Amino acid sequence: MLEATCHCGAVKLQVQVAPDYLIDCNCSICRRNGALWALYDAASVEVKSNPSASVAYVWGAGTIRTMHCKVCGCTTHWEPIGANPDRRWGVNARNFEPLAIAGIKVRKFDGADTWAYVD
């Protein structure tokens, strides 16, 4: 089991397995957050903190909300907006312990223009 926590520990997420790869996206929000995303089915991500510990940011098409800790401001994850339970979540892998993600391939994703992997 892997646990992702923000800097202050107010927001915690748990997943059962390490991802196959991480995503380095260059869209306007991801590059500013400096996140590396690990994708998971919604059912595989367990939020272990009070929902009031996070604040959401929604921009653009409004299909996802990027979640941040209200206390320390760390970007913790993004989740889909809407009723489709099959949509995936992105967990900011920078919030895992470094050894937990050491050696996992990082894929470059062009979210700014082509919406395709560029590696």
Task: Give the β-pairing of 88-92 and 75-80.
Answer: antiparallel
Collect all residues with Cβ–Cβ distance below 8 Å to 6 and sequence separation of at least 6.
12, 69, 71, 72, 74, 76, 95
The predicted structure's pLDDT at residue 31: 96
pLDDT along the chain (119 residues), means of 10: 98 98 96 97 94 95 93 97 82 98 98 96
Domains of the chain: 2-117 (2.170.150.70)
> How many C-beta atoms surround the C-beta of residue 102 within 10 A?
9
pTM: 0.94
Tokens at 45, concatenated: 């991500």
Q: Scanning the structure block, which residue is given the tokens 């979540």?
A: 89
C-alpha dist (Å) from residue 3 to 36, 37, 72, 83, 91: 15, 14, 17, 26, 10
| Strand partners of residue 88 | 41
The predicted structure's pLDDT at residue 61: 85
